[in-house]
Chain A
């Protein structure tokens, strides 16, 4: 009897040696005359357990991990193909506490299926949303997304349905759907997990958007730092076209939607939507002034829906289950779920999809298990490099867009980066300014030059030069950046700087190192 094993093809698993584990499994099975079939799935998101090997036994999949190539003979000795106990046994994958307590709507399939199998996708509700959308009028699709309460998951949290309604109402010969897959925020990898682990879901979401607003061409702008994601998207697009779900005359509906992957080129600011559009058009990624909004004058000056990967990926569920089913999750004006990403110095790092309303404390301790180093958590940066640093006193604020903002935080794209008590917050503040120096597009002076001055001022503060004067100067500079920048790059770089100053002032007041 052939036993089916699952070993992830997600780049996180590959980075930890999954390829060598697969080679070892196949070699050992051949040597022992055991019949195995290895499916390369997405990752379950429990990244501290990767490379994770799952064995299909009857109704359950049993997990073993993290598995190194040298563990493989021992696993065979323990009879793991029949579910035998081993030191690396984790029990049924879906019963692992970290996984079991999540609310996986968008990530329901990721880790379960082979991302490059249309059959597997269909067998797990794949294309149910698209099929439903094809039976609806475009305006009904838009109103369903409006009613779901879905907001932009890239960080800005603008209501998705409203954006789509604007594009649907615009008159134009050509409209576009653009996916922002330039996931540059440190601490975030949920877009990458979708692109590598369930690319057909993104394709389905974008196709539904195309049907809703009357766009026939879409682009996925994926960062060049994600070679595995680019490759899996390209393969998935071909698979979807061959199966009739993408391209001309989708499922015989006489409606068409074409999709193409475009690779970024290592510019963080191209994650800003107007810079991204410039880049797609073949220019420097210089931010555009808004208005006009991309919904009216977007790509090639045409009406354009531009959304983040997770936004599009949330849409198939909404169409398949109805707006209410999504709307039922969440708190306040933050409806549905968000895939939170636990990163940095964290014992159990990975992806946790939960309804809005969960607290940082719950994510950091109940899921994350505290720091990897075993030392106390001192600071947490939520929402990427432009997000605020928060001390422990803020860990109980619920993660909803408005609620968390009230506590001084930014939910952003849901990345949570943990630092232990060895962190030097003056250094982190300096890094925030330095990052802005490297990545500013250069259009706005406060961002382009202010960031360089910011690095210098922080250096002077740390060196103990006229501290009070320079601290005032730093706050003034941040004020100019906030008020005088077109986009979040210059406008939000002060977030990590000022929050470090406000919550960790002692790090700026240390005896200078000579």
Chain B
């Protein structure tokens, strides 16, 4: 029964977008916003709705860094590793983040609290290093600031 419920949710999520020209990306965004990732079960539904092959849908999902095929942790932390942030210590921040979270990029901490992702520019290039926690942006992030933000996330404050 659970499966058909998820299928219904998938159909309901994409239904309002089906008449949009070039609807696949908006649909994938809607699905990821709702489920936290694009469920595997959505692929045949999307293919049928948009008259595409499953391969085309799968290919599109995997092309874009933003779309994930598996659930993330409760929070997604993007650390910028582009040049402007590198110039002010992004590499050290990235190393610190991986060490203190005990996970690499594209991985989730053991307690499922945080998924760590790289970002290639968050547009805060004059005040780096920058990072994005879900949709909240932070600049001039030092390793100490990183730790306190992460502590806050785990304690449930943003």
Contacts and interface: CB of A to CB of B under 8 A. Distances in A.
A186 B120 contact: yes
A41 to B, nearest CB: 18
B66 interface: yes
Contacts of A226: 123
Nearest to B86: A431
Given A15-B127, A265-B66, A341-B125, A283 B56 contact: yes
Interface in B103-154: 119-128, 130, 132, 135-140
Interface in A4-57: 11-12, 14-16, 47-48, 50
Given A283-B56, A415-B125, A227 B83 contact: no
A47 B60 contact: no
Contacts of A285: 63-64
A343 interface: yes
A418 interface: yes
Interface of A: 11-12, 14-16, 47-48, 50, 183-189, 192, 224-228, 262-268, 279-285, 300, 341-346, 349-350, 372, 381, 385, 415, 417-420, 423, 428, 431, 435, 438-439, 441
Contacts of A342: 126
Closest 10 CB pairs of A and B: A349-B126, A282-B24, A186-B82, A343-B125, A344-B87, A265-B64, A266-B66, A15-B139, A266-B65, A265-B66
B65 to A, nearest CB: 4
Contacts of B59: 284
A188 B59 CA distance: 30
Given A266-B65, A279-B25, A282-B50, A12 B126 contact: yes
Contacts of A264: 25, 64, 66
Nearest to B46: A282
Given A50-B127, A344-B83, A227 B25 contact: no
Contact of B124 (A11, A345, A417): A11
Nearest to B120: A268
Interface string B6-19: 00000000000000
B47 interface: no
Interface in B70-125: 78, 82-88, 119-125
B127 A225 contact: no
Contacts of A187: 82-84, 125
A228 B138 CA distance: 13
Given A341-B126, A419-B87, A185 B121 contact: yes
Residue of B78, B136, B139, B140 ringed by the most chain A CB atoms within 10 A: B139
A156 B65 CA distance: 25
A441 to B, nearest CB: 8
A11 B125 contact: no
Contacts of B119: 225, 266
Nearest to A227: B135
Interface in B35-52: 50
Contacts of A186: 82-85, 120-121, 125
A225 B123 contact: yes
A11 B123 CA distance: 9
Nearest to A434: B81
A471 to B, nearest CB: 23
